[in-house]
Structure 1
Amino acid sequence: MAKSLILIYFLLALAVSPTKIVAGARILGIFPHFGYSHFKVFFPLLRTLAEHGHHVTVVTHIQAPANTTTNYEELLLGGQQSTNILTFEHVLPRRPLHYLLLEAEILHKEGQKTCELFYKSGHVETILKKHEQAPYDLVITEYFNSDCQLGIPYLLEVPIVGLSSCLLMPYFYDRIALPDFPSHVQSEFVGFPEELNWHERLLNFVQANVIKKLYRYRTNYYDRKVINKYLNVDFDVDDYAKRSTSLILVNQHYTLHGNKPLTSQLIEMGGIHIDETALKAKLPDEIEKFLKSAPSEGVLFFSWGSLVRSSSLPSEKVQTIVKVLERQPFNVIWKWETDEVPTKSKKFLFVKWAPQFSLICHPKVKLFWGHGGLLGTTENIYCGKPLIITPLYGDQSVNAYAVQNRGVGSILFFDDINEKNLEATLKEVRRKSYADNAAVLSHLFRNRDMKPLDRAVWWVEHLLQENGKMAHKLLQTKAVKLNWFVYYSLDSVSIILIGLALFIFIARAILRRLCGFFKGGKQSGKVKTK
């Protein structure tokens, strides 16, 4: 009887609840880009949505762990390595305009390559068949270096949620009419100290606008051709994306990248990939043993990410780094991909893989030397450790300056690595102020109203509720339909200036007439005398 009453009360509570429980939606995730670090940001959201009862189908290069819920279905893309891809021939650490344009060109070619791989995979046909059997409700996809995948939501006639594993690329700001002021909003492609000087503002303005135009009129042009080739539909990709994008979730947070303009369509999810339960897991025996035997000054963890092969460093740089680090009072754990290591010193432990987050947070690890990748940098901010950053490409410069601007780390450019500079940088970041600033920043980063994963899930499910179509419609901004002249109110400014010029012209004409009238009156009033 008691159990029956409890069940009745529960059913009544559900009946009168004003919030509809969201479950059982069908979500399609499309991630043609091969980057492991990118998908590491997206996977927690996709996995959690599946755990909430939604059926999630994901096109990706990255296979999920074996214990992922059965609601999570993979359509794996093959033929592309996801880790340890880049060597130091690909390094673009400085950011002059021609390097930025070269990087944009590389991203464009890479994007078109992944487009062909996606459409030739056979998964598109599978998706369309699944949609016929049970329609999808939403598409979640990465907004990075191509939009060719948007042909799928176009055919399915469903809204889009865009994800960005880094700061939003400059060509996506217009997609949701996000304010983008190059006087102070740094592009993902650049990196400067805060409070830009005039030539930094000029470079920021020029590169952002040139790269936007290249993406709009080149990349989207080829996206349109690919979509037409494989799906036999033709539409303006950029215009469709503006009409169909409900939200963009971005891997940023004000503690690292500062106060940036936000709209209701842009959701910050900085640190979404951080799994706090990983801190309870046991470290590999070799690493645990090395940490226990470390001196009181602790350990420096040296890792330049999942894409770059540290073992491809030029030999002169390797020997310089080894020579300087051997003289330091701390030990070193170094991510290194080959069995042949540069030194047999007991001060060094070379590992092909390490649980990066757990290792950075370990109390024996006192310093982190990274490359400015956003995942490692974010994990370091969470753990509250001082760091050295050597940016190599992409968004790493803007991340590096964000760290340096906040007094928690110092930049050492790749070209500047020599004994003198490395010694000076190590001495600088070991000052007490860096550890103090890192601890404060860590507290601010962790202390939020909602965890980033909970925020991202809430907004996606907000679109999937019973009134989700209305939510999508209300989130849309009319500003995306305005051309640049009207968007920046230049039409109003022009009318005001024309009116002001006309007023001045008429006023001057009237004054001239009046002056002429008074001069004529004085002359006619004069009496001639002999």
Structure 2
Amino acid sequence: MTTLLRSGVFLLLAILAGIPRQTVAGNVLAVYPHFGFSHSKVVMPILNELARRGHRVTVISYVKNLEGKTLPNYEELLISAAGEDQSSTTINLVPLTENTPTRSLGVLFREYLALHEEGQETCEHLFGSGHIETVLQRHQSKPYDLLLTEYFNSDCQLALAKLMNLPIIGLSTCALMPYYYDRIDLPDTPSFIQSEFVGFAGRLKWHERLLNFVQAKMLKYLYKYHSNPKDNEVIRRYLGLEMDVEEVARQQTAFIFGNQHYSLMGSRPQSLQFVEIGGVHITEKAEKELPEDITNFLNESEKGVIFISWGSMVRASSIDDEKLKAMLEVLQGLSLRIIWKWEEDEKVKTPKVDSSKFLFVKWAPQLALLCHPKIKLFWTHGGLLGTTESVHCGKPMLVTPIYGDQFLNAFSVQNRGMGLKLDYEEINVKNLKQAFKELSKNSYTKNSIQISKVFNQRRETPLDLAIWSVEHVIQHGLVASKLLQSPGIELNGFIYHSLDSILLILLSFTLLILLLSYFCCRKDKPKHLNKKSKTS
């Protein structure tokens, strides 16, 4: 009887041990005021999953989250205008005339200024919405546990973390901006680590290392001494408070989620606080969302299809006539059929081509298309979401970067043998024929499939990793932030790089050489000179 009872107890304990530990439901505040739809697409799965797991999620956002609004624990406070048609205000905004053919310091500086002005405009909309006061008031009766926000081009929202004494989890929807590295003591090492603003092929040459070094340091100081003071000014104007958002970020950031993975962006020295969640927006449901007309076109394509999409922000229909003519001429001569994302309206009609060869679609279920076996090649602008989806599906790419991080992404694809980079300015019949001939080689498909396997084989899904990190911070609060932080964030650059020690060693070495030189000179002085001096 005793043995039977003991066995029952052991069985009960084993069953209890197998039950997943339930995290106490948290009260999460998420602030994502940027207007870009692609930015919101990265964070929405995380917010929705938190709400599904029982956490209360309050979101201040510009872009509507249609799925989130159906969840009982999810509340959305919109910055955008009531009734705004976001299909025209957050999508297809950038004409191809804004392409940046080079990555010179002048171009990088102009891009920084554009991002800065955009970030300040975002701050004005955020603080002018009245939602800041709303959540501050709610915090008094039902405290928030955590601030989730985007680390992109402004930090004015970090005033909430300071006033509520909350840990912060930042999210970078693109490769991490160079001015955020120091917050988590993430090495930038310009000799081989390329930032969001640049892009080079393979190992950096000396002049590329020089440009990489200068832009990384220049942009870092511009953001610290130009953008952050403007953020502080916005806070002072709206809340009447003096604070340094850079200091708040350093002291209260627990994690930064990076929308990247080493299989595409490369291996690099890491920080415990930097968490790679590249592919977090990819879902099994999205892989199956193909409308009937696209499905029929794919099924009828015996040799396969090229999918052309230059993202949610870039207007592919703004391409100039000469380049469009060259593209159509070359594509018409290929054995593959074409599905092309094209924003047709009253002013911009679809090109007059053979409808059995081309299918133009105003909206395309990108992930489902890329994972379809009939898709053989993806012609993309190099946006990180589309590039990541193509890596996930194992498809070769032709990448035509237009601005920002797209150059870095394009070279990452080319460096790994998954595709080729073709600049917008280089689009002509000769270059296109050469590119498609090269991409027809089996090596590109083989490399894409192999890297796809590495990308998809992880210890846990990107979403599970993100949710664990959030729940860890909810449970442990600012203690989690403090324990994760490197002591290096408290040091100034002089001490951090041991310049004081190096200078002391150099000084000691110099003095030693001088002393040795002095005594050697005295010892080697001719004796007859000394005798002559005595007799005289």
Residues 503 and 20 (structure 1), Cα distance of their counterparts in 2 relative to 1, 3 Å cut: farther
Residues 187 and 505 (structure 1), Cα distance of their counterparts in 2 relative to 1, 3 Å cut: same
| 2:501 paired residue number | 492
- For residues 235-314 of structure 1, the aligned pairs below 5 Å read 235-279=243-287, 281-296=288-303, 298-314=304-320
Alignment partner of 2:527: what SS?
Answer: helix
The CA deviation at 1:13 is: 8.0
Equivalent residues of 2:171, 2:258 under 8 A apart: yes
Alignment partner of 1:385: what SS?
Answer: coil
Residues 18 and 142 (structure 1), Cα distance of their counterparts in 2 relative to 1, 3 Å cut: same
| 1:520 paired residue number | 527
Stretches of structure 2 lacking an aligned partner (at least 5 in a row): 1-8
> 1:99-124: per-residue Cα shift (whole Å, max 9, x none)?
11111110001000111001111111
Is residue 73 of structure 1 aligned with residue 81 of structure 2? no
* TM norm structure 1: 0.93
Is residue 43 of structure 1 aligned with residue 51 of structure 2? no
Identify the match of residue 409 of structure 2 among 383, 399, 402. 399
Distance in 2, matches of 1:59 and 1:48, equals 17
> 1:355-386: per-residue Cα shift (whole Å, max 9, x none)?
10010110111110000000000000011111
Equivalent residues of 2:147, 2:169 under 8 A apart: yes
The CA deviation at 1:19 is: 9.0
Residues 24 and 282 (structure 1), Cα distance of their counterparts in 2 relative to 1, 3 Å cut: closer
Equivalent residues of 2:61, 2:78 under 8 A apart: yes
| 1:104 paired residue number | 112
| 1:113 paired residue number | 121
The CA deviation at 1:278 is: 2.5
| 1:334 paired residue number | 340
The CA deviation at 1:512 is: 2.6
Amino acid at match of 1:371: H
The CA deviation at 1:468 is: 3.9
The CA deviation at 1:277 is: 3.1
Aligned residues: 515
| 1:318 paired residue number | 324
> 1:84-138: per-residue Cα shift (whole Å, max 9, x none)?
1111222223211111111111000100011100111111121112211200010
Identity %: 48
Alignment partner of 1:363: what SS?
Answer: coil
Distance in 1, matches of 2:289 and 2:119, equals 39
Residues 521 and 474 (structure 1), Cα distance of their counterparts in 2 relative to 1, 3 Å cut: farther
Distance in 2, matches of 1:283 and 1:22, equals 37
The CA deviation at 1:16 is: 8.4
Distance in 2, matches of 1:165 and 1:48, equals 18
Identify the match of residue 135 of structure 1 among 143, 151, 157. 143
The CA deviation at 1:329 is: 0.5
- For residues 383-398 of structure 1, the aligned pairs below 5 Å read 383-398=393-408
Distance in 1, matches of 2:21 and 2:420, equals 49
| 1:226 paired residue number | 234
Distance in 2, matches of 1:209 and 1:194, equals 22
Distance in 1, matches of 2:409 and 2:126, equals 30
Compute the RMSD of aligned alpha carbons: 2.2
The CA deviation at 1:522 is: 9.7
Distance in 2, matches of 1:133 and 1:260, equals 44
Amino acid at match of 2:73: N
Which stretch has the larger CA shift, 78-87 or 263-272? 78-87
Alignment partner of 2:96: what SS?
Answer: coil
Is residue 503 of structure 1 aligned with residue 512 of structure 2? yes
| 2:172 paired residue number | 164
Residues 24 and 9 (structure 1), Cα distance of their counterparts in 2 relative to 1, 3 Å cut: farther
Residues 17 and 355 (structure 1), Cα distance of their counterparts in 2 relative to 1, 3 Å cut: closer
Alignment partner of 1:199: what SS?
Answer: helix
> 1:487-530: per-residue Cα shift (whole Å, max 9, x none)?
111111111101111111122222233334xx4399659xx9xx
| 1:145 paired residue number | 153
Alignment partner of 1:75: what SS?
Answer: strand
The CA deviation at 1:10 is: 11
Alignment partner of 1:89: what SS?
Answer: helix
Amino acid at match of 2:493: W
The CA deviation at 1:461 is: 1.1
Which stretch has the larger CA shift, 415-424 or 42-51? 42-51
- For residues 22-101 of structure 1, the aligned pairs below 5 Å read 22-66=23-67, 68-79=70-81, 81-101=89-109
Distance in 2, matches of 1:16 and 1:251, equals 34
Which stretch has the larger CA shift, 120-129 or 339-348? 339-348
Equivalent residues of 1:93, 1:397 under 8 A apart: no
Distance in 1, matches of 2:14 and 2:51, equals 25
Distance in 1, matches of 2:350 and 2:360, equals 7
- For residues 184-199 of structure 1, the aligned pairs below 5 Å read 184-199=192-207
Equivalent residues of 1:178, 1:263 under 8 A apart: yes
Amino acid at match of 2:527: G
The CA deviation at 1:319 is: 1.6
Stretches of structure 1 lacking an aligned partner (at least 5 in a row): 1-7
Equivalent residues of 1:188, 1:395 under 8 A apart: yes
> 1:344-365: per-residue Cα shift (whole Å, max 9, x none)?
4120000011110010110111
Is residue 459 of structure 1 aligned with residue 460 of structure 2? no
| 1:5 paired residue number | none
Residues 313 and 522 (structure 1), Cα distance of their counterparts in 2 relative to 1, 3 Å cut: closer
Distance in 2, matches of 1:47 and 1:14, equals 30
Alignment partner of 1:276: what SS?
Answer: coil
> 1:220-250: per-residue Cα shift (whole Å, max 9, x none)?
1110000111111111221221111111110
Amino acid at match of 1:27: V
* TM norm structure 2: 0.92
> 1:410-441: per-residue Cα shift (whole Å, max 9, x none)?
01100000011111111111111111111111
Distance in 2, matches of 1:190 and 1:237, equals 26
Alignment partner of 2:314: what SS?
Answer: coil
